């Protein structure tokens, strides 16, 4: 059960191990951004490529879907960024339960956006947790976990790729332990739980009153989607890459003609940038065709 690109490596590993995949659940096809055609999810496409049966219900919360899943009668259900909460009455329909690949070191960052929130928060490490799905959001006992370092060069896209590959390896290890009845699940310390709420439009707007490192972390967390932006001449201009520079000035203004921007403590040097409807550009190329001169206020 999975939907985005993040879930594809796990499906590939399951296929490589020649496990009997009786059904693949994914989100329904939807219209593309331009609305010209219907697009299937990455997991849907990968499943079809390998001649797997695909089921894409709009919701699981009805009697028809309950009966459908009951008829499938799986030994084990694997969940990776499926995009729907598994109803409680489903949980006993899989003989050995529902096992989830979660992209954080639980109990930290339960919820919809663990990768983005870990970068925004300036965490030094994150990782993958293989957990049993129970009632409650990402609160079930953990079977396996492994951590990786977050450095300043990692954005959401790069870190997501690393974690998806790590998760695909760990789930095979988990299935082997379950198959041999050697799986051990440890309860989470719920007192240490943090919540990774879904990214909203408020998270996207850059607040120059924040420290420079915080703004760089925001930019990294929202790359490649949806992007962090500031306003200039009533346009939302997105910054895709930046670095901290040890300079100070009036907050929210440019300190030179090359998009060095003052923040609360230091400044950030913009490296990659994009105007609405235009391509992403290196800052030097961007400024050849669009001037943001020294002392411009970016509000």
Which residue has 């198959």 as its token pair?
Answer: 179
Q: Are 123 and 102 in contact (CB under 8 A)?
A: no
- Residue 239, strand partner residues: 228, 273
Closest-CA residue to 24 (of 40, 58, 49, 47):
47
Q: How far apart are CA 223 and CA 119, in angstroms?
A: 11
Q: Is 284 exposed, middle or buried (CB count within 10 Å of its CB: 0-12, 13-18, 19+)?
A: exposed
Q: How far apart are CA 129 and CA 27, in angstroms?
A: 23
Q: How far apart are CA 272 and CA 282, in angstroms?
A: 5
Tokens of 80: 């990776």
Determine whether the annotation assigns residue 104 to a binding site.
yes
Q: How far apart are CA 227 and CA 237, in angstroms?
A: 9
For residue 205, give the DSSP letter.
B
Q: How far apart are CA 259 and CA 90, in angstroms?
A: 53
Q: How far apart are CA 68 and CA 105, in angstroms?
A: 33
Determine whether the annotation assigns residue 106 to a binding site.
yes
Q: What are the binding residues?
A: 104-107
Binding residues for (6S)-5,6,7,8-tetrahydrofolate: 104-107
């Amino acid at each position: 059960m999975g939907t985005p690109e993040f879930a594809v490596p796990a499906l590939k590993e399951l296929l490589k191990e020649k496990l009997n995949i009786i059904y693949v659940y994914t989100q329904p096809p939807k219209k593309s951004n331009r609305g010209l055609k219907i697009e299937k999810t990455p997991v849907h496409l990968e499943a079809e490529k390998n001649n797997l049966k695909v089921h894409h219900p709009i919701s699981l919360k009805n009697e028809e879907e309950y009966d459908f899943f009951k008829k499938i009668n799986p030994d084990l259900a694997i969940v990776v960024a499926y995009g729907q909460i598994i109803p409680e009455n489903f949980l006993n329909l899989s003989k050995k339960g529902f096992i989830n690949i979660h992209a954080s070191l639980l109990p930290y960052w339960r919820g919809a956006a663990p990768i983005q929130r870990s970068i925004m928060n300036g965490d030094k490490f994150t990782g993958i947790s293989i957990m049993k799905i129970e009632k409650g959001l990402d609160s079930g006992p953990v079977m396996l976990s492994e951590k990786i370092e977050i450095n300043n060069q990692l954005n959401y896209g790069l870190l997501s790729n690393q974690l998806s590959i790590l998760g695909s390896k760990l789930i095979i290890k988990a299935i082997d332990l379950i198959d041999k009845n050697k799986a051990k699940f440890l309860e989470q310390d719920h007192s240490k739980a943090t919540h990774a709420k879904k990214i909203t439009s408020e998270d996207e707007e850059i607040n120059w009153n924040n420290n420079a490192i915080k703004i760089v972390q925001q930019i990294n967390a929202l790359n490649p989607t949806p992007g962090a932006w500031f306003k200039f001449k009533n346009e939302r201009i997105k910054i895709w890459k930046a670095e901290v520079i040890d300079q100070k000035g009036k907050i929210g203004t440019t300190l030179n003609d090359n998009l060095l921007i003052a923040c609360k403590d230091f400044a950030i040097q913009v490296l990659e940038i994009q105007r609405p409807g235009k391509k992403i550009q290196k800052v030097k190329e961007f400024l050849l065709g669009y001037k943001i001169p020294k002392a411009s206020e970016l509000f």
